[in-house]
Structure formats: structure tokens, C-alpha cells
Amino acid sequence: MKDFVGPKIPFEELKEEELLGEGGAAFVSKGEWEGKQVAIKKLKVPETASTLGFEDEEEETFSNVFKEFRREISVMSGLEHPNLVNLIGVCLDPLCIVTEFMAYGDLYNFLQDTSRDLDLALRLKIAIDIASGMLFLHSAKPPIIHRDLKSPNVLMAAISVNAPVVAKVADFGLSGAMQTVSIKSVANPIWLAPEIMIGGEFTEAADVYSYGVILWEILHRKQPWEDIRFINEIEQKVKKGERPPILGECPPAYAELVSLCWTQDPTKRPPFKEIFERLVAIKQEFFPTDENNKEEKEESIEKKKRGNDEDSGSDESDDSEIDDSPAPKNRISFGEEVSAFDFLKKFGSDELQRKTN
Ligand SMILES: Nc1ncnc2c1ncn2[C@@H]1O[C@H](COP(=O)(O)OP(=O)(O)OP(=O)(O)O)[C@@H](O)[C@H]1O
Ligand SMILES: [Mg+2]
């Protein structure tokens, strides 16, 4: 994958507004850059035992974070799809990722706000949008495994079923960097495939498992395993093959899809191409006169024709809601010889001084 050649944004050019939230590895704020609304994801400074006291190890840790950041940003920058949160640029001091701003926040919170109506058409549209973004990632060569697909990493662009895009996948390709910088290194087991829990090898099918949990959440509008207090207990259940019960009214084909996606055996889980097609078929069954069906059906037939080996760069969209990337400015290639430690020394220098003194 080529190195990142997108815009390098000087931090002074970013207007930071309110804090939107905090994840394990970053603070996310709303902001503005070149007159556009953006989200600014400021990575936390690593603070592990090895960074305290030993300068060589400290340098190595920082250097690893930077390398990981560099590698993963290059993954992100090569990908554009209407159902992926678009990377706008990076800021190196402090280390930030600047992406498009998603006005309706994350899917996790959106689903839990039961004061909003959520009809079947919108539920299916959200599910189709996520499947479409994931199909694109898995069709890349080599395939990109998200590794941290979960409802907090699905962001909402719109909440009307008539909008061309309602949901986008975020933080793809970032999980490694996030883990490196994360002080909370324990992954959330709610969305974690059992094969990862047991420390075995995993493939794209691990994302399909996570997607199955999201399908369940879209249906139930609550957190799976919400009555279980201990993370460890959830892990034990999932490893044994237990899953949250599928309750309430739902199209049988949808319930079947949830079960298939979170099958214990990863090789029995459907690929995203099949998931996409199954969802489009459910939508057609319930909303046969929907104008959007025609487009999706054609896309589905087209995908079938292209088969699994479609080129990742060939997806196109006429979605006018999607902003194009800003005109390249202050381009930087990560191929430049830069000392990771030099950058990171400046980043959070107070913190660093405290540690090195
Ligand atoms: N592009 C964006 N537009 C709008 N809100 C965003 C954007 N990116 C993130 N957020 C919000 O910022 C919050 C923190 O995001 P972040 O990705 O740091 O944490 P997380 O996804 O909850 O956990 P993790 O650290 O595992 O990624 C989330 O609650 C999300 O709603
Ligand atoms: Mg996230």
C-alpha cells in the first residue's frame, strides 16, 4: 500500500470546537478546517510502564506508535467509499487524524435513543450501508480486516431513509495504532469474535461476527449482554457458543442472517457480498415499490457479475452528499525521512518532560 500523500494539516489551521467524546485511544472534537466541519481525533500519548524511566525503550515505544500510525494512515488514505468515513488529512504535532464530521454521532448511541422512531426501512438501510462499506474493505487487495467493527465505530450521516447515505464505517485500519497507543488495551468482548478471544488466527470472518452483533443491536436497540456485569462472563459465554437471544418481531430472513453472521465456525459465516444481497432481498420483499430498490438490485447484480475478485478501486458513487477530499495542500509523503521520536518529542512535550526528567 502506498504511503500517505494526503494533506498534512498544521495544527494552527484547525479550529477546535466542542469535545464529542473520548475513546480508549483518542479524544474526538468537532472542528473546522478550511471552512468545513471536521472531526479531529487527537491520539493519546502512550503511557505504558516501558515509557517510564528508560529512555531507549521510551524512544522505541514512541517510534512504534509512529510507525503504526504511518502504516495505518496510509491504509485509510487509499480508500474512498460513500460508506466509509473519509480521511481529510493528518496533523503530526500533535498526532491527529482529521476526518469528515458525522452530524448524527455513532450508531450505538443513536440506537439507544428510543425517543426516535426507527422503522424497518431505516433499519435495513443502516444495515445495507454498513455491509456495503465492509464489502469494499474486504474487496481490497489484500483485503482489509477492520478488527474493531462495532456500533460505536459506525457513524450516522443522516437519519432519513431517503438520504443517499445514512451510515458509514469509521476507524478501519486503525485498530493496530489504537492498540499501540491505548492505555485500555482490553478489547470490548461484545463485538469480538470467539476465535480472536482465544488468541487464534483470524480472517475477514471476524468482522462478519462483529457485524452480526450490530445486526442484533439494530433489531433490539440495546446493548447485547446488558444484564451481565463482568466482561469475563461474556467472554466465557461467547467462547462456548452462546449468543444473545433474538427476540421480538423481525423478518425471519433477518433473524437467519444474524445467526449466520455470528456462527461459531468462522468458515461458515457468509461473506459481505452475500450479506449485502440477502439484505437487499429482504428490503425488496417488504418495500417492493421503493425507488432505491432498483439501484441496489442493479448494484447487487453488478457485484454478482464481478464476482469476488472485484477491484477495490472500482466502486463509484453518484452520492452528492459526500464531500470530496479537500484540494491537496501541504502534502507530505510518509516516505520522507523523519524521525518519529522528533515528532513525538514535540507532541505532549510537558508530559514527556515529566517522564524523562
Ligand atoms: N467523524 C466523527 N464525527 C462525529 N463524531 C465522531 C466522529 N468520530 C468519532 N466521533 C464520536 O467521538 C466519540 C469517540 O470516538 P472514538 O473513536 O475515539 O471512540 P470509540 O469508537 O468509542 O472507541 P475506540 O477507542 O475503541 O475507537 C464517539 O462517541 C463518536 O460518537
Ligand atoms: Mg472509534
Q: What is the pLDDT of residues 29-81, one digit of tens each?
A: 999 999 999 999 998 865 443 443 445 555 666 666 667 677 667 777 778 89
- Ligand 1 pocket mutation, candidates 20, 29, 37, 210, criterion most atoms within 8 A of CB: 20
Judged against a pLDDT cut of 90, whether residue 345 lies above it is answered with no
For 16-28, the pLDDT digits (tens) are: 999 999 987 789 9
* Residue 275 Cα to ligand 2 middle (Å): 23
CB neighbours of residue 128 within 10 Å: 23
Burial of 345: CB neighbours in 10 Å, binned 0-12, 13-18, 19+: middle
Classified by CATH at the fold level, domain 3-101+322-352 comes out as: Phosphorylase Kinase; domain 1 (3.30.200)
Q: Whose CA is nearest to atom 30 of ligand 1?
A: 106
For 74-110, the pLDDT digits (tens) are: 777 778 899 999 999 999 888 899 999 999 999 999 9
pLDDT mean over 246-275: 96
* Residue 53 Cα to ligand 1 middle (Å): 32
Instruction: List the catalytic residue out of 129, 148, 207, 315.
Output: 148
* Residue 152 Cα to ligand 2 middle (Å): 6
Q: Say yes or no: CB of residue 51 within 6 Å of ligand 1.
A: no
Q: Note if 148 is an active site residue.
A: yes
> What is the model's pLDDT at position 7?
82
Q: Whose CA is nearest to atom 20 of ligand 1?
A: 23
Closest CA to 315 of 81, 130, 1: 81
Q: Whose CA is nearest to atom 6 of ligand 1?
A: 105
Query: Is residue 62 within 8 Å of 177, Cβ to Cβ?
Result: no
Q: Which strands make up the sheet holding 15-22, listed edge to edge?
A: 15-22, 26-33, 36-43, 95-100, 87-92
Whole-number mean pLDDT of the chain? 79
* Residue 29 Cα to ligand 2 middle (Å): 12
The domain 107-296: what is its CATH number? 1.10.510.10
Domain boundaries, the chain: 3-101+322-352, 107-296
Cell digits of residue 314: 472500482
> What is the model's pLDDT at position 172?
82
Q: Whose CA is nearest to atom 24 of ligand 1?
A: 23
Closest CA to 96 of 199, 25, 202, 193: 25
Q: Say yes or no: CB of residue 39 within 6 Å of ligand 1.
A: yes
Closest CA to 171 of 99, 220, 238, 221: 99
Q: Which ligand is closest in space to the CA of residue 98?
A: 1
* Residue 26 Cα to ligand 1 middle (Å): 8
Indicate the pTM of the whole model: 0.79
Judged against a pLDDT cut of 90, whether residue 218 lies above it is answered with yes
Q: Say yes or no: CB of residue 20 within 6 Å of ligand 1.
A: yes
Q: Say yes or no: CB of residue 155 within 6 Å of ligand 1.
A: yes
Q: Whose CA is nearest to atom 5 of ligand 1?
A: 105
* High-pLDDT (> 90) share of the chain, %: 55
Q: Say yes or no: CB of residue 171 within 6 Å of ligand 1.
A: yes
The confidence band for 328, taking pLDDT boundaries of 50, 70 and 90, is very low
Cell digits of residue 153: 465505530
